[in-house]
Amino acid sequence: MPEESLPSVPPAERLLNLVIALVNTSVSMTKQQIRRGVAGYGDAPSVDAFERMFERDKDTLRALGVPIVTVDSGGHSDDVGYRIDNDAYALPAVDLTPAELGVLALAAQLWSDKTLRTDISRAMTKLRAAGAGEAASDALAGLAPRVRAVGDAYGPLLEAVTERRVVTFRYRAASTGQVTARHVEPWRIAARGGGWYLVGRDQDRQAPRVFRLSRIEGRVRVGSRAGAFEIPADLDVDALLGARTGRERTAVLAVVPERASAVRARAVPVPSDTSSGTSSGTSSDVVRDASPGTAATDATDAPLAVPPAAAAAPAGRDVLAVRFTSLTTLAEELAGYADAVVVLAPPELRTEVVRRLQAAAGLAPRTPHHRPEPDEETTRG
């Protein structure tokens, strides 16, 4: 059986086991002791396979800055031992100023995904226990940006990016609503405009593409071969995603009095020019395909079609306007208010909100019929 076939202990876990063993050994551990006592090395089918596995792991840990030292007893080569220099490996005492802890607290608040939030909360509790206290985070209340939940696709994709493995997943296109299988060489994962995106090379289309993680349906399958591709040395994620995920636009809403306080808090003056024409029908928030180093640009600069407030708004409601760049993000937020918020403009936002409400009520399948938006890769031409 090949040495790489179906290991019972993942490589990352095996490395961690080795670090724990070498940190806690009283003197040193020989290779024979490591093979017998450290979980993961018993999977090696032969002595030669173990030797290669251990040498790779040792080089990996040293490259990561773990000071593994060799202890030579002066006798037979089998008596050579290994340990970690704890004096060189130990971190100094953590001493953060209130300002430094405040910056960390602000960064921690960025994450809204449940799993990540739990881990970060534990880390922040330990840091505050070092003596900086709660005062640093009090001044930051309400300042933190938010990134929507990562979802199940994030973990496998992050692993694939790290190990350069090809991934396969089913993706729902924003332009057509069609769900198709994609075979992608994942380059980077990035957060923009409150959402997560995968930047990589679509093997079927032979070109760079941008995928929004929330549009990945089902399980992400990670290829078995590590190092299957090279990430471009001149990769510019900002150029592929665009400096922003789309041009800022204005949504006009009819809101029940004293409802949707979060929307009211960021309201802007309602556009008064309703005679400038109608939308051209092409979304201005499109992330175009681009090669590394080529900036993504907006498709159009079409004026917003604002219906006359008195005629379009239901009686007894307040007419508000809010700015947005991501159609999907705002639609998901507004759908959460149910009938307390009615979208007056733009029509594509109203369509997206209605579709989500219908899907929630079980009245229609979740099949979108709308134009491309900034969270979707689109085919040029």
The pTM of this model reads 0.41
Residue 184's nearest CA partner among 150, 215, 209 is: 209
What confidence score (pLDDT) does residue 33 get? 92
The CATH number of the domain holding residue 43 is 1.10.10
**Mean pLDDT value of segment 175-183:** 88
> What is the 8-class DSSP label of residue 119?
H
| Residue at a domain's end among 79, 109, 138 | 138
Beta bridge partners of 29: 82
Dihedral sign (CA 270, 275, 277, 278): positive
Beta bridge partners of 133: none
Residue 188 lies in a domain: no
Distance CA 11, CA 4 (A): 10
Residue type, 203: Q
Residue 158 lies in a domain: no
Residue 310 lies in a domain: yes
Better pLDDT: 105 or 81: 81
Let me know whether 27 and 124 are in one domain.
Answer: no
Which strand (E) or helix (H) includes residue 68? strand 68-71
314-323 confidence digits (pLDDT tens): 888 999 999 9
Let me know whether 271 and 350 are in one domain.
Answer: yes
Query: Beta strands 377-378 and 287-288: pairing type?
Result: parallel
Let me know whether 54 and 117 are in one domain.
Answer: no
Q: Are 370 and 347 in contact (CB under 8 A)?
A: no
Let me know whether 46 and 121 are in one domain.
Answer: no
Let me know whether 356 and 255 are in one domain.
Answer: yes
Residue 55 lies in a domain: yes
What confidence score (pLDDT) does residue 182 get? 96
217-237 confidence digits (pLDDT tens): 999 999 999 999 999 999 988
Cβ neighbours, 10 Å, residue 356:
19
Let me know whether 83 and 111 are in one domain.
Answer: no
What confidence score (pLDDT) does residue 287 get? 34
**Mean pLDDT value of segment 338-356:** 91
What's the token pair of residue 162? Answer: 């790290």
115: containing domain: 98-138
In the chain, the number of structural domains is 3
